[in-house]
Structure formats: structure tokens, C-alpha cells
Structure 1
Amino acid sequence: MASSDPYQVFNFLIEIEGLVIGGFSECSGLQVETELFEYREGGLNEYMHNFVGSTKYTPLVLKHGLTSNDGLWKWHQEIVSQGLNQGIKRRNGTIYLLDQQRNMAKVWNFKQAFPYKWTGPELRADSSEVAFASVELVHRGLNQVPA
């Protein structure tokens, strides 16, 4: 049986509604958590019953260096100015983790997302670092699909 090396975290792309909006330096929030309810049955001391509750999806946080492409900022500003109840479309997207040959290794789809938070760069006259911004997307589901 051949062993395989773990995938490297820097090799990823993000696509929203069919457009690759890559160039991100970080993507976090790939997390799904299902509530657990414990129930202690009277007279039963060996274990507790466990029941499944609702499932929560952590917001996706996308960080990138600022460029002239401001599509995520404009999307967030649509939410601010019109709100979701005024026909703002939630968008579906995909996160691709690539292997060393840049082939798809892992794929996650997220559903009905919209940006609820945008954070701009910290501007400092004494620094030559890249200006980074981040956007946080809430969504209604995350699933892993075959690559």
C-alpha cells in the first residue's frame, strides 16, 4: 500500500457562483458542529444516552491582499444598502484544496452565503507589509464532495 503525503494548506482556490476569486492568503471556518444532548436514564449508571440536535456552520473567513478587484466589497455593500429582504441573492461557492501538481485533492461546497463582515487593512506609515482585508461569509451548509 502506497503512502500519501498530507496536502499543503497554501494550495487552494475559492470559487463563488462560477467565478474563481482566488488570490486569498487564508481561508478559515471549515467547521461543522452538531449539537449533542445527553440524557441520564434513571437506574442506568453505565452510560448516558446521546441525542443529535441541530447542526451549526461556522462563518468562512477569507483573507486576501487588497487589489483593484473589489467584488467582495461591492457584494458586502449591497447587503448593507439593501438588506437580504430586498432581493439580495445569496451565493453558492466552492473551496478547492489542490495537491502538489495543482490537481483537485479536496472540494467543499458552501450554500447560500452572504458577507456579513468586512475588515480592512491596518494602515501604518512605518510598515511595508501588504495591505490585507478579510470578509466573513455566513452560509447554510458545508459539504465535502469527491474531487
Structure 2
Amino acid sequence: MPTQRDNPYGAFNFLVSLGGAQGNGDEGTPVGGFSDVSGLGFEVQYAEYRNGNDKVNAVRKIQNTFKVDDVTLKRGLIGSEDLFTWLKDVRDGRIDPRTVTITLLDEARNPVSSWKLRSAQPKKWTGPTLAAKGGTETAMEEIVFTCQEIEYQ
């Protein structure tokens, strides 16, 4: 699905699908639009190794495990309890890993690439900061997911 072009895509057109009963992420069925996605990444760990009979006095780097970063999503509070319910279920011992999909869209809202968070589970929820001054802020909630693998398509 990745589409190559001369100009980079904007980071402001994307869809998030939470899997399970949370909707499929299509334009017609959003549970709540997300304003920010951050933390997409992983790191490969390397071990240093050298044979005792190597002619060169240097170590080799041998890849072994990899670590996936936690992914943070933010959205305006809309009265939907979907994320909090999922977090509460996990807190109460219900194992409910899902595939969370983040799809980047071009200017015409066509999918151009996506990231799938395999076996994603909610790790942390942060509610809105409420302040009685100004009245121009949006009530935002934040959810942090941990996952076992990030797949790029």
C-alpha cells in the first residue's frame, strides 16, 4: 500500500481503527477522531561477539531481540467510554489484545500507508485537564498502548 511520490505526505490526515467492537476505522463509523499519534517505533538490540581466534581485534555485532515503543493517542473527549472500558477490562484481568491500525491518508483521503500494532493493549489512560479560565481549551484524553509488533504496509 505505500505509495511513493516526490512531495512528502502531510501528517494531519489519518484514521485510527481500535479493532474489536470499537469500530473499523472507516470514515463513516468513527468512535471519536484522534488528533495525535506519537511513539511509532522499535529498536533492534545487538550483542557484541568476538571469536578468540579472530585475526582482527574487533567485535562483531549480532542482532538478537527487538523492543517496540509504546504508542500514544490523543483525542477530544466526546462522551464515549470505549477506551476507558477497554482499559478497565484489562485492569480487571481480562486479556483483550487487539490489532490497532493507523492509516495515513493523502489529500484526497485515499490510504497511502498504514501501521498495525499487533497484540496491542491499553497501558495508561489520562483524562482531561480541567481549568475554569479562558474557555478556549479542548478537553482531551490520552491513551498509551503497548504492543508486541509494529507492521508497516
- The reply to whether residue 83 of structure 1 matches residue 85 of structure 2 is no
Show the counterpart of 1:141. Answer: 149
TM-score, normalised relative to structure 2: 0.82
User: What are the superposed Cα offsets for residues 33-79 of structure 1, whole Å, 9 maximum, x if unpaired?
Assistant: 1101223555524x530111211111110001100222001111111
Show the counterpart of 1:4. Answer: 6
TM-score, normalised relative to structure 1: 0.85
Show the counterpart of 2:108. Answer: 101
CA distance in 2, matches of 1:79, 1:114: 8
CA distance in 1, matches of 2:84, 2:108: 32
Question: Structure 2: which 5+ runs fail to align?
Answer: 26-30
CA distance in 2, matches of 1:3, 1:54: 33
Q: Partner letter of residue 44 of structure 1?
A: V
CA contact (8 A) 1:15 1:22 kept: no
Partner SS for 2:85: helix
Show the counterpart of 1:49. Answer: 60
In structure 2, relative to structure 1, the CA distance for the partners of 1:23 and 1:71 (3 Å cut) is: same
CA distance in 2, matches of 1:70, 1:103: 29
**C-alpha displacement at 1:19, in angstroms?**
2.3
Show the counterpart of 1:92. Answer: 99
CA contact (8 A) 1:14 1:22 kept: no
In structure 2, relative to structure 1, the CA distance for the partners of 1:16 and 1:3 (3 Å cut) is: closer
Show the counterpart of 1:19. Answer: 24
CA contact (8 A) 2:44 2:66 kept: yes
CA contact (8 A) 2:32 2:78 kept: no
**C-alpha displacement at 1:22, in angstroms?**
5.0
Q: Partner letter of residue 11 of structure 2?
A: V
- State, as a whole percentage, how many aligned pairs show the same letter: 35
CA distance in 2, matches of 1:32, 1:5: 25
- List 4+ stretches of structure 1 deviating above 2 A: 38-43
Q: Which of 59, 70, 86 lines up with 2:81 in the alignment? A: 70
